[in-house]
Amino acid sequence: MRGTEDSGVSPDPSWADRFQDQCCPSWSPDGRRLAMAVTVGPEGRRLAIADVDPLTGSSPSITLLDVPGVSQAYPRWSPDGSLIAYEARGEGNWDICVIDADGSNARRVIRGPTHERPPTWASDQRTLFYRDDFQELWRVALDAEANPVGAPRRFLTLPPRQRVGEGGFDVRGDRLLLAIEEHASDIWLLEFSDGDAWTSGRSGGGR
């Protein structure tokens, strides 16, 4: 199964027969469980939690979670390990959901007309950050049960040629770390010359 080497876990060999691939693993704060998304047939990705032996790195068991969303990805443990936020594709769009660490008590925290993904916890566990498509970063305040308090607030909008990197971003204290991709193009002028050869000249930049 692809992707397990990224987490340093030695999975049971039967995983390869059960799952087509695995992505976006997230360690629990105590280092004993690994949340991930696995592909099971054509229905899309599902969340799963593997118990991990911290001494050997082996993981003989994995549990699939029955949670809302046609497809789920990017599970992220809360700082105290009691909750997991994840992105779920529902009626065409990706939204942000939260479940208890055992997979119960699912609730949809963010539902919008665009794609809200992936979730990132603030260090105090009272705010969730997420990306709206690839151009904007938003945050929503949470109560003690991780229910939204008030409306989400936009706090960063990137220029048209920039986008938040596919890997998402991370929050530590009062700092946010993110990868920004910049897309630009150049205009080229091609001219005929004698024979079959082309001559080319670069005209300006797209930035």
First-to-last C-alpha distance (Å) of the chain: 41
Q: Is the pTM of this model over 0.75?
A: yes
Residue 64's domain is classified under what CATH number? 2.120.10.30
Task: Give residue-wise pLDDT tens across range 44-74.
Answer: 788 999 888 877 777 777 888 988 888 899 9
Q: Does a structural domain hold residue 127?
A: yes
Q: Does a structural domain hold residue 118?
A: yes
* pLDDT for residue 186: 66
The three-state secondary structure class of 18 is helix
Q: Does a structural domain hold residue 42?
A: yes
Q: Could you tell me which of 82, 34, 38 has the C-alpha nearest to residue 58?
A: 34
Q: Does a structural domain hold residue 175?
A: no
Domain of 36, in residue numbers: 4-159
Mean pLDDT of the chain: 79
Domain count, the chain: 1
